[in-house]
């Protein structure tokens, strides 16, 4: 029994070594006279068809200041190498094998044309290649793309952005290499949703760039992987928009602060400084967009101006309260009194309390007229007292 087990193990090891030797012999046979810088076709008048499949894994960051989009994607390229074909029966039935890319096989010269760092870099250093007996190659790699994106922030935080990842060829024109997308959309099956951005649409578009050279016109196909992103504005509403609206409402309460409390100026100053901080935060996080200043920045600036006017009005009212009690009433004061008196008929006369107030207002008006006599004139204190009595009952 032990002898049988040992014999079985020896046979398995021998079979494994034979398979390894066969694969090594196959690779040696394929790459012995192979040149990675030569386009692998038997008829050089025909182009190599390269299909590309792009899978979006995650949106790392949309940088408004750098005008860039950073993503993590899976890139899968497929093409046929007519120089790497073998007969399975001659090599122990080996149908395919996988090997890492070390510039030992021809790959299409693709690049991301709108990349910020290295346009010709596709992450091939970490790529793996699967080769079949029919010469079909599949290259797979995962890479972070840092591409340019025109960020428009005029409608921030309710903005939508249109970003693209552009794939094109470095040197081989369409007559030598034909680039085709396997799908008309980006694959989002493995996409991890982010809290800030939502993908509402994506599409793949073709565009042909024509270059006039000394050897004629050369056509280069460009694949546009277009992403339409919408910002999730919940966080911005809670952190910026809602506090600004609350401060705008609090700003109106400045005139309800009593003059004797000593807080009538410090209250609007506090609101002014808070709005200034919000404005600095917004302008610091957003760039100078080509479509103008954002509506949110304009609104905060408007509230800052309103806060300034409120502060100036509070200071003027305090100055009038403390220095104008004993000054004579100017002609404009008498005009205002006549206007209030002319509107008495618009209020119901059945209310006894309202009739008493109107009677007191008439007596006050008569007293003010008597104060115009030589040696005696009415004061602002008398005017404000009459105004408060009438306004109180009307409210």
| pLDDT tens track for 127-141 | 888 999 898 999 998
Q: What separation in angstroms does the CA of 87 have from each of 109, 286, 357?
A: 29, 61, 113
- pLDDT, mean over the chain: 75
Between residues 259 and 358, the one the model is more confident about: 259
Is the CATH code 2.70.170.10 the one for domain 27-232?
yes
Contact (CB, 8 A) for 162 and 202: no
pLDDT at 56 over 80: yes
* Residue 234 backbone phi and psi in degrees, to 5: -65, -45
pLDDT bracket for residue 357 (50, 70, 90):
very low
Contact (CB, 8 A) for 206 and 223: yes
Between residues 22 and 224, the one the model is more confident about: 224
Element (H, E) at 131: strand 128-132
Torsion of CA 136, 139, 140, 141, to 10 degrees: 180
Average pLDDT over residues 224-238: 85
Contact (CB, 8 A) for 372 and 329: no
Lowest mean pLDDT among 223-227, 292-296, 350-354: 350-354
DSSP notation for 30-86 = HHTT--TTS---SSTTSPEEEEEEEEEEEEEEEETTTTEEEEEEEEEEEEE-TTS--
Average pLDDT over residues 264-268: 75
d(CA 63, CA 144): 15
Instruction: Give every CB contact of residue 74 below 8 A, 6+ residues apart in sequence.
Output: 54, 55, 57, 140, 141, 142, 190
pLDDT at 353 over 90: no
pLDDT at 381 over 80: no
Contact (CB, 8 A) for 30 and 84: yes
- Report pLDDT for 4: 39
Between residues 121 and 96, the one the model is more confident about: 96
- Report pLDDT for 55: 93
Average pLDDT over residues 115-132: 79
| pLDDT above 70 coverage of the chain, percent | 71
Choose among 230, 72, 73: nearest CA to 163. Answer: 230
- Report pLDDT for 324: 59
pTM of the model as a whole: 0.67
pLDDT at 66 over 70: yes
| pLDDT above 90 coverage of the chain, percent | 13
Joined together, the tokens standing for residue 8 give 């079985």
Question: Could you state, in order of their start, the residue ranges of all structural domains in the chain?
Answer: 27-232, 235-394
d(CA 133, CA 93): 10
Instruction: Give every CB contact of residue 304 below 8 A, 6+ residues apart in sequence.
Output: 272, 275, 276, 279
pLDDT bracket for residue 122 (50, 70, 90):
confident
pLDDT bracket for residue 14 (50, 70, 90):
very low
Between residues 22 and 326, the one the model is more confident about: 22
Lowest mean pLDDT among 3-12, 59-68, 72-81, 244-253: 3-12
């Amino acid at each position: 029994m032990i002898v049988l087990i040992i014999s079985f193990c020896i046979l398995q090891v021998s079979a494994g070594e034979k398979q390894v030797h066969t694969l090594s012999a196959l690779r040696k046979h394929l790459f012995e006279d192979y040149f990675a810088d030569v386009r692998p076709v038997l008829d050089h008048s025909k182009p190599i068809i390269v299909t590309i499949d792009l899978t979006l894994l995650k949106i790392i960051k949309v940088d408004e200041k750098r005008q860039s989009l950073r993503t993590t994607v899976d890139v899968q390229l497929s093409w046929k190498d007519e120089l790497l074909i073998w007969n399975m029966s001659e090599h122990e039935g080996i149908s395919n094998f996988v090997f890492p890319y070390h510039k030992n096989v021809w790959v299409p010269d693709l690049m991301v044309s709108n990349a910020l760092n290295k346009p010709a870099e596709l992450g091939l250093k970490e790529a793996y290649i699967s080769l079949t007996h029919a010469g079909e190659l599949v290259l797979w790699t995962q890479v972070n793309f840092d591409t340019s994106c025109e960020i428009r922030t005029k409608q921030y935080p309710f903005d939508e952005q249109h970003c693209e990842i552009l794939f094109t060829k470095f040197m081989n024109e369409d007559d030598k290499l034909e680039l085709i997308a396997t799908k008309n959309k980006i694959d989002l099956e493995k996409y991890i949703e982010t809290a800030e951005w939502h993908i509402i649409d994506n599409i793949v578009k073709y565009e042909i760039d024509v270059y006039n050279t000394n050897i004629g016109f050369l056509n280069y196909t460009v694949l546009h992987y277009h992403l339409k992103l919408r910002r999730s504005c919940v966080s911005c509403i809670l952190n910026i928009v809602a506090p600004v609206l609350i401060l705008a409402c609090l700003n109106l309460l400045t005139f309800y602060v009593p003059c004797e409390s000593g807080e009538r100026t410090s209250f609007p100053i506090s609101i002014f400084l808070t709005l200034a901080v919000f404005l600095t935060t917004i302008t610091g996080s957003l760039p100078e967009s080509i479509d103008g200043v954002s509506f949110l920045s304009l609104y905060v600036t408007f509230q800052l101006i309103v806060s300034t006017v409120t502060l100036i009005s509070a200071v003027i009212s305090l100055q009038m309260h403390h220095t104008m009690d004993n000054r004579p009433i100017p002609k404009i004061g008498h005009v205002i009194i006549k206007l209030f008196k002319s509107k008495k008929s618009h209020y119901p006369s059945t209310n006894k309390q309202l009739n008493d107030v109107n009677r007191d207002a008439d007596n006050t008006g008569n007293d003010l007229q008597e104060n115009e006599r030589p040696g005696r004139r009415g004061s602002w204190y008398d005017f404000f007292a009459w105004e408060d009595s009438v306004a109180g009952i009307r409210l």
